[in-house]
């Protein structure tokens, strides 16, 4: 059923979230908040070298230390053969995942895990790590993406032969694959173009920087049953990956989803869980592990740094006729950068006849990259949206008009295949045009930047159950960890279908043994896919309720309607019966067919893509290069805002991460390939005084494939900020900064160079 046009009573309002009281009182239980009797502390031994062969590991002294109950290395884990599986937001090779969790033969980045211990105190565990004797043969390392592609670069994997190249190379390299997307005839396009602009851009690796470090507890019982309590973006993913890495049955693992303190894609895979389980198996006790902040930076996936070249050709009236891009993304130590989405997203906002995009997935001696909020898209859009701004300047056309002229619309065929349907980009651009920010005159020394962004959003597998309790209150359970308030929005959709107030419904996140399979909380899919499952489950419950009312009234079920939380005879012909509300029917459930429950599992199709446009005003201190964000407006098509506050929150949070990415965040390496800033002191995320209020403008172009019109919203907002800020800096100073981050020394140097 589709509720898009009906009068909604709950969806679209702003109730207090059901898990809120726990979160503001410190009661909410995150993975590291849990203890168990006799629990051991697990710690990880990590490589100090960026690239080295492991000649030998001697754990005997560590094992002999009083208080140490288990030590593990790669020898304790199955040797996984290469096997591809798609889970999460990118292809996952289980052999690579296993090697990333525990190195075998070689360490490939500073921080790469190669052993772990479990001991009765944290202090003893630290002492044990120091007693593990590792002999390394240090190898030359390579960090930068272009250096990794050079013919004489140190090779990370002897069996890496570049995919997507014909003929297949015979020599290994650091290029895992090349991908190409083509539409039309790019040569002809550039020949036709009256104006051509081009640019080269670089970005540095940045980390998701969630405030909660990875943590888990694991218990391996003598009969092989495994319990894991962990903060993750997907407990079914934790179960699947842990089972695969340990070679056990999925049904022998039960994963409890703890509250999660931020993920942004970085917690859609495992690092600690397989180690904790193995340590528990060897010691016979529950093992707790948590990463230090330094380990989070050194050894959990940031996103790629990149090198990009973009070339755009247009007619004098602003119609773009040719668009070309070459992208080189760092994958970290194992293949799997988001090069695919990077190639797809840069031009996805525009209706272009001739497109040619080539992307390279390149490994280097850095932590394996993990998904980070619209993986690949922020990077490519930094380049494309900066160049669009230069094109507008060269053409003498307003940057908004340039985008309106070339905007993708319903029916636009993308360069990567699908055709856009039911999209809201033109509505977003219209909202920019009419927004007061766009019309506010700039002060002396200020500059204004505009940039657009796109993300596909995904659907996928979700399960949800709705139970009407004996007193008429409702419990909804899903398999989706709640990072941003999804318990609230799911409960609201269920309440809307049932016709009851939001407070009647309690939403929980159930463990892997208690609910059907559910894909990760990522890809902006939960409100869409899990919301769809929950809505359908609620609808099934409503059908059941109607059937029971029909039975009681002895009328056909078609003659019963459900409205405002009660069954009514549909029209006076059906009979003059008093309505039966949820509580009344629930009380009699046992006698009318049993418990009132429905569970739905589905593979949601029809996820609608999201478009956004951000306006940013900056002031640049020309002597220091310091950039101040004076005003920020983020406009986005959100389909239908189920709970507007949490939709706004996603937009504001994504924009703030983009601001940090634009101005100050980066991984800094020394000559030995070691990270120099693995902490919040020198890895500079925005603090409260760095940003102004971020106005989130919700444009609603409903997605007809979702019962309430919802679209994913969480990822689009991180895509526009870097170019919006770069364009604003250009507006304020006349200088184009093509390299991220646009930190003060770079801004000052660019200003000096211009003189």
Partner 1 sequence: MAKTYVSTTINGESSEFLCETQQTLLDVLRDVVGLTGSKEGCASGDCGACSVILDGRLVCSCLVLGVEAEGKTVTTIEGIANGEKLHPVQQKFLEHAALQCGFCTPGLIVATKALLDENPNPTETEARYWLAGNLCRCTGYDKVIRAVMDAAAELRGETVG
Partner 2 sequence: MSSLSYAAPTSVDDAVKLLAGSSGLAKVLSGGTDLLVQLRSGRLKPELIVDTKKIPGIIGIREENGGFVIGAATPGAVVEAHAGMTAAWPGLVEALDLIGSTQVQGRCSLAGNLCNASPAADSVPALFAAGAIAVVVGAKGRREVPVEQIPTGPGRTSLTKDEFILEFKLPPRPARSSDAYLRFIPRTEMDIAVVGCGISLMLDEKGVCTAARVALGAVAPTVLLVQAAADVLVGHTLDADTLAKLDAAAQAAAKPISDKRGTVEYRTKIAGVLARRVAAIAFDRAQGIKNGKVH
What residue ranges bind partner 1 (CB under 8 A)? 14, 16-17, 19-30, 32-33, 35, 123, 208-213, 259-264, 290, 292-293, 483-485, 643, 645-646, 648-650, 652-657, 679-681, 685-689, 691, 693-694, 696
Beta bridge partners of 450: 615
Tokens of 383: 């380049």
Q: How far is the CB of 659 from partner 1 (least distance, A)?
A: 8
Q: Which is nearer to partner 1, 207 or 324 (CB)?
A: 207
Q: Which entry of partner 1, partner 2, none binds 748, CB below 5 to 8 A by partner kind?
A: partner 2
Closest CA to 362 of 156, 170, 504, 200: 156
CA 562 to chain centre: 38
Selected binder of partner 2 within 664, 703, 727, 733 (CB under 8 A) = 664
Q: Which is nearer to partner 1, 29 or 557 (CB)?
A: 29
Selected binder of partner 2 within 687, 693, 753, 755 (CB under 8 A) = 687
Q: Under rule CB under 8 A, which residues in 617-656 are in contact with partner 2? A: 623-624, 626
Phi first, then psi: what are they for 239, rounded to 5°? -60, -45
Q: Which is nearer to partner 2, 446 or 518 (CB)?
A: 446
Rounded Cα distance between 364 and 273, Å, is 25
Binding of residue 441 to partner 2 (CB under 8 A): no
Write out the DSSP string of 639-701. SS-SSHHHHHHHHHHHHHHHHHHHHT----B-TTS-BS--STTTS-PPPGGG---EEEEEE--
Binding of residue 733 to partner 2 (CB under 8 A): no
Which one of the spans 12-20, 81-89, 361-369, 661-669 is the region binding partner 2 (CB under 8 A)?
Answer: 661-669
CA 163 to chain centre: 26
Using only C-alpha atoms, the chain has a radius of gyration, in whole angstroms, of 27
The β-bridge relationship of strands 320-332 and 355-363 is parallel
Binding of residue 26 to partner 2 (CB under 8 A): no
Q: How far is the CB of 747 from partner 2 (least distance, A)?
A: 10
Q: Which entry of partner 2, partner 1, none binds 136, CB below 5 to 8 A by partner kind?
A: none
Q: Under rule CB under 8 A, which residues in 688-707 are in contact with partner 2? A: 689-690
Q: How far is the CB of 24 from partner 1 (least distance, A)?
A: 4
Cis peptide before 504 (omega within 30 of 0): no
How many other CB atoms are there within 10 angstroms of residue 676's CB atom?
11
Rounded Cα distance between 46 and 546, Å, is 60
Q: How far is the CB of 668 from partner 2 (least distance, A)?
A: 5
Binding of residue 187 to partner 2 (CB under 8 A): no
Q: How far apart are the first and last CA of the chain?
A: 64
Binding of residue 123 to partner 2 (CB under 8 A): yes
SS3 99: helix
Q: How far is the CB of 291 from partner 1 (least distance, A)?
A: 10
**How many residues of this chain interact with partner 2, rule: CB under 8 A?**
21
Q: Which is nearer to partner 1, 360 or 455 (CB)?
A: 455
Q: Which entry of partner 1, partner 2, none binds 624, CB below 5 to 8 A by partner kind?
A: partner 2
Q: Which entry of partner 2, partner 1, none binds 23, CB below 5 to 8 A by partner kind?
A: partner 1
CB 348 within 8 A of CB 416: yes
Binding of residue 290 to partner 2 (CB under 8 A): no
Q: Which entry of partner 1, partner 2, none binds 64, CB below 5 to 8 A by partner kind?
A: none
Phi first, then psi: what are they for 304, rounded to 5°? -65, 150
Q: Which entry of partner 1, partner 2, none binds 230, CB below 5 to 8 A by partner kind?
A: none
Selected binder of partner 2 within 22, 84, 194, 682 (CB under 8 A) = 682
Q: How far is the CB of 131 from partner 2 (least distance, A)?
A: 15
Write out the DSSP string of 460-473. EEEEEEEEE-TTS-
At a CB cut-off of 8 Å and minimum separation 6, what does 126 contact? Answer: 43
Closest CA to 524 of 89, 230, 12: 89
Positions in the binding site for partner 2 (CB under 8 A): 123, 623-624, 626, 663-664, 668, 676-677, 681-682, 684, 686-687, 689-690, 743-745, 748-749
């Amino acid at each position: 059923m589709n509720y898009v046009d009906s009068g909604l009573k709950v969806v679209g309002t702003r109730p207090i979230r059901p898990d809120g009281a726990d979160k503001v009182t410190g009661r909410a239980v995150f993975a590291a908040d849990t203890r168990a009797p006799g629990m051991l502390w697990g710690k990880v031994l990590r490589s100090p070298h960026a690239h080295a062969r492991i000649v030998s590991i001697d754990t005997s002294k560590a094992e002999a230390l009083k208080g140490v109950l288990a030590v593990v290395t790669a020898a304790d884990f199955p040797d996984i053969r290469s096997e591809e599986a798609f889970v999460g937001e990118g292809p996952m090779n289980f052999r690579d995942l296993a090697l990333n969790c525990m190195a075998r033969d070689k360490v490939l980045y500073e921080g790469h895990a190669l052993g772990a211990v479990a001991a009765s105190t944290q202090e003893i565990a630290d002492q044990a790590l120091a007693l593990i004797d590792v002999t390394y043969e240090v190898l030359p390392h390579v960090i930068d993406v272009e250096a990794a592609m050079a013919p004489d670069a140190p090779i990370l994997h002897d069996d890496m032969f570049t995919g997507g190249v014909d003929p297949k190379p015979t020599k290994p390299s650091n290029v895992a694959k090349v991908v190409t997307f083509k539409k039309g005839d790019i040569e002809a396009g550039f020949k036709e173009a009256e104006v051509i602009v081009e640019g080269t851009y670089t970005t540095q690796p940045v980390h998701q920087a969630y405030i909660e470090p990875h943590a888990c507890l694991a218990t391996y019982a003598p009969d092989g049953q495994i319990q894991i309590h962990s903060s993750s973006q997907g407990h079914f993913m934790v179960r699947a990956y842990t089972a695969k890495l340990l070679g056990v049955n999925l049904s022998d693992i039960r994963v409890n989803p703890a509250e999660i303190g931020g993920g942004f894609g970085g917690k859609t895979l495992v690092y600690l869980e397989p180690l904790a389980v193995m340590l528990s198996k060897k010691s016979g006790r529950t093992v707790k592990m948590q990463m230090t902040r330094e380990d989070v930076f050194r050894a959990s996936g940031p996103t790629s740094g990149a090198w990009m070249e973009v070339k755009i050709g247009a007619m004098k009236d602003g119609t773009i006729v040719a668009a070309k891009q070459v992208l080189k993304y760092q994958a970290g130590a194992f293949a799997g950068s988001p090069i695919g989405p990077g190639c797809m997203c840069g031009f996805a906002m525009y209706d272009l006849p001739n497109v040619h995009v080539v992307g390279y997935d390149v490994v280097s001696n850095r932590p394996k990259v993990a998904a980070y909020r619209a993986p690949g898209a922020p990077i490519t859009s930094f380049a494309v949206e900066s160049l669009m701004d230069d094109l507008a300047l060269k053409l003498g056309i307003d940057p908004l008009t340039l985008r309106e002229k070339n905007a993708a619309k319903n029916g636009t065929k993308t360069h990567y295949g699908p055709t856009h349907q039911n999209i809201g980009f033109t509505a977003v651009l219209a909202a920019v045009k009419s927004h007061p920010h766009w019309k506010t005159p700039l002060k002396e020394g200020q500059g204004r930047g505009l940039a657009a962004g796109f993300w596909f959003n995904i659907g996928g597998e979700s399960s949800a159950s709705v139970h009407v309790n004996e007193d008429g209150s409702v419990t909804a359970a899903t398999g989706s960890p709640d990072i941003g308030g999804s318990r609230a929005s799911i409960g609201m959709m269920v309440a809307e279908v049932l016709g009851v107030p939001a407070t009647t419904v309690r939403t929980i996140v159930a463990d892997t043994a208690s609910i059907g399979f559910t894909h990760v909380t990522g890809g902006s899919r939960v409100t869409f896919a899990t919301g769809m499952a929950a809505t359908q489950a609620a609808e099934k419950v409503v059908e059941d309720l109607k059937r029971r009312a029909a039975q009681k009234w002895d009328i056909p079920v078609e003659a019963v309607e459900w409205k405002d939380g009660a069954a009514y005879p549909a029209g006076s012909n059906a009979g003059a019966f008093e309505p039966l509300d949820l509580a009344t029917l629930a009380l009699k459930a046992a006698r009318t067919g049993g418990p009132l429950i429905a569970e739905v599992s589905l593979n949601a199709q029809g996820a609608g893509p999201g478009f956004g446009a951000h306006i940013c005003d900056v002031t640049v201190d020309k002597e220091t290069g310091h950039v101040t964000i004076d005003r920020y407006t983020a406009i986005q098509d959100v389909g239908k805002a189920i709970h507007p506050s949490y939709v706004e929150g996603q937009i504001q949070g994504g924009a703030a991460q983009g601001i940090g990415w634009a101005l100050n965040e980066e991984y800094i390496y020394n000559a030995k390939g070691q990270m120099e800033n693995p902490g919040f002191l020198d890895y500079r995320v925005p603090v409260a005084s760095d940003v102004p209020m971020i106005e989130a403008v919700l444009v609603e172009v409903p997605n007809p494939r979702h019962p309430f019109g919802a679209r994913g919203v969480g990822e689009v907002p991180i895509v526009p900020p870097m170019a919006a800020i770069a364009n604003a800096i250009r507006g304020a100073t006349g200088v184009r900064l093509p390299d991220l981050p646009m930190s003060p020394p770079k801004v000052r140097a660019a200003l000096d160079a211009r003189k």
